[in-house]
């Protein structure tokens, strides 16, 4: 996918060296942005093999609203490094997508009462009743949680926008690991956009992405340079069963036409 390779080239050529909490330095750029036309195919990288099974399980876990990884870790270990021994996760994206705590004052008592907001559910309602709304925003950033979490949300907010009959998604990310995280983020939010568009009877439009701190870990540079030598292949097609979003299971997703190059191993910085 050319958009991704262009991002890699920009950060390698323009980035500055920065220290960070992991102890592994990065090459970093500020406020990188790109847009992908989803009608051209599912944006799963072809210049290296991607683990589509892990991706699907992760997205379904987000949609479950769970705040632990006890079920997820039986399928993939991608979140194990940030959970406690019981599988609880300080910042679980799905918890905030589906059960964001909203504090309101009870007029009778004057005290705050907390209710949970299903942000995904609310956006689907708006898409069905007022698709031209500019208020279809979903946030995973709850300050009280984020400032004490072991890993606060990286991809912390996204918004949907309808143009004609096409559903578009814009993701804002405070921190983006270009070698490992960004390819998964692209595919995950594109999948989510496609699933929601199908649910509300719309076509897929664009996925747009802003990364505040777009970085490459120095021990990932050689692997990314190898990837830049490879030529992107045609994008695969993702087929999703026609079911309500909350009824989708792993077997309801079919990826066709996925041809890719050999994997490239990158170490995770924890």
CATH of the domain at 13: 3.30.572.10
42 by Cβ neighbours in 10 Å (0-12 / 13-18 / 19+) ranks as: buried
Place of tokens 């019981």: 86
- Classify residue 266: in a domain, yes or no: no
Instruction: Give the residue from 151, 173, 140, 152 showing the smallest Cα distance to 32.
Output: 173
pLDDT at 4 over 90: yes
**Distance of alpha carbon 200 from alpha carbon 264, whole angstroms:** 37
What share of the chain has pLDDT > 90, as a percent? 84
Contact 7, 232 (CB under 8 A): no
pLDDT, tens only, 166-186: 999 999 999 999 999 999 999
- Classify residue 180: in a domain, yes or no: yes
pLDDT score, position 270:
67
Please identify which of the residues 29, 154, 169, 260 carries the catalytic annotation.
154
Which residue range is the domain that position 58 belongs to?
A: 2-256
Q: Does the annotation mark 260 as catalytic?
A: no
- Classify residue 268: in a domain, yes or no: no
Instruction: Give the residue from 220, 223, 218 showing the smallest Cα distance to 264.
Output: 223
pLDDT, tens only, 29-55: 999 999 999 999 999 999 999 999 999
pTM (whole model) above 0.85: yes
**Distance of alpha carbon 118 from alpha carbon 5, whole angstroms:** 35
Q: How high is the mean pLDDT of the chain? A: 95
pLDDT, tens only, 63-110: 999 999 999 999 998 898 888 888 899 889 999 999 999 988 888 888
pLDDT, tens only, 118-153: 999 999 999 999 999 999 999 999 999 998 888 899
pLDDT score, position 169:
98
Mean pLDDT of 239-259: 97
Report the domain count for the chain: 1
- Classify residue 116: in a domain, yes or no: yes
- Classify residue 148: in a domain, yes or no: yes
- Classify residue 130: in a domain, yes or no: yes
- Classify residue 176: in a domain, yes or no: yes
Phi, psi of 234 (to 5 degrees): -55, 145
pLDDT at 20 over 90: no
pLDDT, tens only, 210-225: 999 999 999 999 999 9
CA 148 to chain centre: 22
- Classify residue 208: in a domain, yes or no: yes
pLDDT score, position 176:
97
pLDDT score, position 188:
97
């Amino acid at each position: 996918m050319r958009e991704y390779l262009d991002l890699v080239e920009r950060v390698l050529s323009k980035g500055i060296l920065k220290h960070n909490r992991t102890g592994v330095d990065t090459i970093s750029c500020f406020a990188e942005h790109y847009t992908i036309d989803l009608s051209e195919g599912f944006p799963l990288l072809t210049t290296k093999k991607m683990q589509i099974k892990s991706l699907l399980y992760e997205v379904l876990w987000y949609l479950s609203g769970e705040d632990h990884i006890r079920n997820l870790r039986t399928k993939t270990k991608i979140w194990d490094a940030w959970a406690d021994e019981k599988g609880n996760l300080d910042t679980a994206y799905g918890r905030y997508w589906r059960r964001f705590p909203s504090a309101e004052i009870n007029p009778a008592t004057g005290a705050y009462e907390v209710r949970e907001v299903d942000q995904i559910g609310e956006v689907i309602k708006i898409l069905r009743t007022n698709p031209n709304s500019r208020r279809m925003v979903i946030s995973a950033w709850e300050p009280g949680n984020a400032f004490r979490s072991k890993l606060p949300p990286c991809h912390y907010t996204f918004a949907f926008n309808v143009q004609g009959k096409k559903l578009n998604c814009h993701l804002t990310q405070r921190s983006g690991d270009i070698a490992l995280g960004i390819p998964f983020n692209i595919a995950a939010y594109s999948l989510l956009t496609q699933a929601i568009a199908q649910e509300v009877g719309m076509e897929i439009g664009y996925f747009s992405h802003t990364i505040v701190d777009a970085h490459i870990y120095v021990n990932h540079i050689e692997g990314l340079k190898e990837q830049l030598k490879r030529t992107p292949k045609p994008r695969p097609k993702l087929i999703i069963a026609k079911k309500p979003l909350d009824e989708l299971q792993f077997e309801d997703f079919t990826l066709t036409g996925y041809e890719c190059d050999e994997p490239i191993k990158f170490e995770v910085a924890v």
